[in-house]
Amino acid sequence: MKEDITDHHILEEYKTNRENGFSLLFEKYHKKIYFHIRRIVILHHDADDVMQNTFIKVWNNLDGFRKESSLYTWIYRIATNEAISMVKRRKNESGLSLDNMSEYFMISKEGDKWFDGDEAERKLRNAILKLPDKQKLVFNLKYYDDMKYEDMSRVLNTSVGALKASYHHAVKKIEDYLNSN
Instruction: Identify the pLDDT of residue 110.
Output: 45
Residue 117: how many CB atoms within 10 A of its CB? 10
Q: Between the CA of residue 111 and those of 3, 32, 41, 180, what are the distances in Å?
A: 30, 21, 11, 21
Instruction: Identify the pLDDT of residue 54.
Output: 98
Complete DSSP assignment for 23-55: HHHHHHHHHHHHHHHHHHH-SHHHHHHHHHHHH
Mean model confidence pLDDT for the chain: 86
Query: Can you tell me the distance from the alpha carbon of 130 to that of 106, in angstroms, rounded to the nearest whole number?
Result: 9
Instruction: Identify the pLDDT of residue 77.
Output: 94
Instruction: Identify the pLDDT of residue 95.
Output: 64
Q: Report whether CATH 1.10.10.10 matches the domain 98-181.
A: yes
Q: 1.10.357.10, 3.10.520.10, 3.10.20.30, 1.10.1740.10: which CATH number matches 1-95?
A: 1.10.1740.10
Provide CATH 1.10.1740.10 ranges for the chain: 1-95
Given a contact cutoff of 8 angstroms between Cβ atoms, the answer to whether 73 and 154 are in contact is yes
Tens digits of per-residue pLDDT, 33-75?
A: 999 999 888 888 999 999 999 999 999 999 999 888 889 999 9
Instruction: Identify the pLDDT of residue 1.
Output: 46
The list of the chain residues with pLDDT below 50 reads 1, 107-115
Given a contact cutoff of 8 angstroms between Cβ atoms, the answer to whether 142 and 150 are in contact is no
Instruction: Identify the pLDDT of residue 47.
Output: 93
Provide CATH 1.10.10.10 ranges for the chain: 98-181
